[in-house]
Amino acid sequence: MPKTVTGGCRCGAVRYEFTSLPTFMHICCCRDCQYFTGTDKVFVVGGPRESFELQKGSPRTYEVVADSGATIVRAFCDTCGCSLLIYPKIDGVFYKPEDDVVEVCAGTLDDPSAFSPDFAVFVSRAPSWTAFPKGLMLHE
Ligand SMILES: [Zn+2]
Ligand SMILES: [Zn+2]
Protein backbone atom coordinates (compact mmCIF):
# COMPACT_ATOMS: atom_id res chain seq x y z
CA MET A 1 0.00 0.00 0.00
CA PRO A 2 1.31 3.50 -0.78
CA LYS A 3 2.31 5.77 2.09
CA THR A 4 -0.06 8.57 1.15
CA VAL A 5 -3.69 8.54 0.13
CA THR A 6 -5.14 11.05 -2.30
CA GLY A 7 -8.53 12.02 -3.57
CA GLY A 8 -10.72 14.84 -4.75
CA CYS A 9 -14.02 15.87 -6.25
CA ARG A 10 -15.53 14.86 -9.58
CA CYS A 11 -14.48 17.99 -11.50
CA GLY A 12 -10.95 18.16 -10.10
CA ALA A 13 -11.29 21.62 -8.55
CA VAL A 14 -10.56 20.21 -5.08
CA ARG A 15 -7.74 17.76 -4.36
CA TYR A 16 -6.58 16.44 -0.98
CA GLU A 17 -3.95 14.15 0.47
CA PHE A 18 -3.38 12.22 3.67
CA THR A 19 0.38 12.37 4.22
CA SER A 20 0.19 9.30 6.45
CA LEU A 21 -2.29 6.48 6.09
CA PRO A 22 -5.80 7.22 7.37
CA THR A 23 -6.52 5.41 10.63
CA PHE A 24 -10.15 4.38 10.30
CA MET A 25 -13.11 3.82 8.02
CA HIS A 26 -16.69 3.69 9.19
CA ILE A 27 -20.27 4.22 8.16
CA CYS A 28 -22.45 6.94 9.66
CA CYS A 29 -26.23 6.93 9.30
CA CYS A 30 -27.01 10.16 11.19
CA ARG A 31 -29.49 12.54 9.58
CA ASP A 32 -26.78 15.11 8.91
CA CYS A 33 -24.84 12.54 6.89
CA GLN A 34 -28.02 11.55 5.05
CA TYR A 35 -28.54 15.15 3.97
CA PHE A 36 -24.83 15.51 3.14
CA THR A 37 -24.87 12.53 0.78
CA GLY A 38 -28.49 12.63 -0.33
CA THR A 39 -28.90 8.98 0.61
CA ASP A 40 -29.08 6.66 3.62
CA LYS A 41 -25.54 6.89 4.97
CA VAL A 42 -21.98 7.97 4.35
CA PHE A 43 -18.82 5.87 4.20
CA VAL A 44 -15.94 7.91 5.60
CA VAL A 45 -12.21 7.36 5.78
CA GLY A 46 -10.42 9.48 8.37
CA GLY A 47 -7.19 10.32 10.08
CA PRO A 48 -5.54 12.94 12.29
CA ARG A 49 -5.92 16.49 11.05
CA GLU A 50 -2.17 17.04 10.94
CA SER A 51 -1.94 14.27 8.33
CA PHE A 52 -4.51 15.92 6.06
CA GLU A 53 -3.67 18.52 3.43
CA LEU A 54 -5.75 20.30 0.83
CA GLN A 55 -3.62 20.27 -2.29
CA LYS A 56 -5.89 22.22 -4.59
CA GLY A 57 -8.98 24.39 -4.34
CA SER A 58 -11.05 25.39 -1.36
CA PRO A 59 -14.30 23.53 -0.87
CA ARG A 60 -17.38 25.41 0.25
CA THR A 61 -18.42 24.65 3.84
CA TYR A 62 -21.39 24.79 6.16
CA GLU A 63 -21.66 24.04 9.87
CA VAL A 64 -24.16 21.94 11.75
CA VAL A 65 -24.54 21.31 15.48
CA ALA A 66 -24.55 17.54 15.99
CA ASP A 67 -26.53 15.67 18.66
CA SER A 68 -23.38 15.67 20.81
CA GLY A 69 -23.50 19.48 20.89
CA ALA A 70 -20.36 19.65 18.79
CA THR A 71 -20.17 21.89 15.74
CA ILE A 72 -19.29 19.88 12.67
CA VAL A 73 -18.04 21.39 9.43
CA ARG A 74 -19.10 19.80 6.15
CA ALA A 75 -17.29 20.66 2.94
CA PHE A 76 -18.25 20.15 -0.69
CA CYS A 77 -17.09 21.32 -4.10
CA ASP A 78 -19.12 24.35 -5.15
CA THR A 79 -18.53 23.56 -8.82
CA CYS A 80 -19.54 19.90 -9.10
CA GLY A 81 -21.41 19.53 -5.78
CA CYS A 82 -19.37 16.55 -4.62
CA SER A 83 -19.53 15.98 -0.84
CA LEU A 84 -15.95 15.79 0.39
CA LEU A 85 -15.05 16.41 4.03
CA ILE A 86 -16.42 16.21 7.56
CA TYR A 87 -14.45 17.58 10.50
CA PRO A 88 -15.10 19.07 13.93
CA LYS A 89 -14.88 22.83 14.32
CA ILE A 90 -12.13 23.16 16.88
CA ASP A 91 -13.03 25.88 19.32
CA GLY A 92 -11.33 24.66 22.47
CA VAL A 93 -14.63 23.86 24.16
CA PHE A 94 -16.08 20.63 22.89
CA TYR A 95 -13.08 18.77 21.58
CA LYS A 96 -10.42 16.55 23.00
CA PRO A 97 -7.21 16.23 20.97
CA GLU A 98 -8.18 12.71 19.87
CA ASP A 99 -11.28 14.17 18.20
CA ASP A 100 -9.17 16.32 15.92
CA VAL A 101 -9.72 14.27 12.80
CA VAL A 102 -10.67 14.89 9.20
CA GLU A 103 -13.01 12.45 7.49
CA VAL A 104 -13.35 12.20 3.72
CA CYS A 105 -16.26 10.62 1.88
CA ALA A 106 -14.84 7.27 0.77
CA GLY A 107 -16.13 7.62 -2.77
CA THR A 108 -13.85 10.65 -3.30
CA LEU A 109 -10.66 8.63 -2.75
CA ASP A 110 -8.67 8.00 -5.94
CA ASP A 111 -8.94 4.34 -4.92
CA PRO A 112 -12.26 3.89 -3.11
CA SER A 113 -11.44 0.20 -2.55
CA ALA A 114 -8.31 0.94 -0.53
CA PHE A 115 -10.16 0.58 2.82
CA SER A 116 -13.17 -1.23 4.17
CA PRO A 117 -15.45 -0.14 6.99
CA ASP A 118 -14.87 -1.33 10.58
CA PHE A 119 -18.25 -0.42 12.04
CA ALA A 120 -21.39 1.66 11.58
CA VAL A 121 -22.77 4.35 13.87
CA PHE A 122 -26.23 5.89 14.31
CA VAL A 123 -27.78 2.84 12.64
CA SER A 124 -31.05 3.58 14.49
CA ARG A 125 -31.33 6.70 12.27
CA ALA A 126 -31.03 4.72 9.06
CA PRO A 127 -34.14 4.21 6.90
CA SER A 128 -35.79 0.78 6.99
CA TRP A 129 -34.32 -0.16 3.60
CA THR A 130 -30.69 0.40 4.56
CA ALA A 131 -28.34 -2.54 4.13
CA PHE A 132 -24.93 -3.04 5.75
CA PRO A 133 -21.93 -5.15 4.77
CA LYS A 134 -22.17 -8.61 6.30
CA GLY A 135 -20.59 -9.02 9.73
CA LEU A 136 -20.17 -5.30 10.33
CA MET A 137 -20.32 -4.11 13.94
CA LEU A 138 -23.42 -1.93 14.33
CA HIS A 139 -23.77 0.78 16.97
CA GLU A 140 -27.22 2.17 17.58
ZN1 LIG B 1 -15.62 19.60 -8.07
ZN1 LIG C 1 -23.11 11.26 10.49
What pTM was computed for the model? 0.91
Q: Residue-wise over 26-59: b if at least 16 C-beta within 10 A, else e?
A: bbbbbebbbebeeebbbbbbbbbeebbebeebeb
Convert the pLDDT of each residue in 2-58 to its tens digit: 689 999 999 999 999 999 999 999 999 999 999 999 999 999 999 999 999 999 999
28 alpha carbon, closest ligand: 2
Task: Delimit the domains of the chain by residue range.
Answer: 5-138
Output DSSP code: residue 18: E
What is the predicted pLDDT for the residue at 3?
Answer: 82
The mean-pLDDT minimum among 83-87, 91-95, 105-109, 129-133 falls in 91-95
Instruction: Give me ligand 2 centre to Cα 92, in Å.
Output: 21
Task: Domain 5-138: state its class.
Answer: alpha beta
Convert the pLDDT of each residue in 53-99 to its tens digit: 999 999 999 999 987 778 899 999 999 999 999 998 876 555 555 67
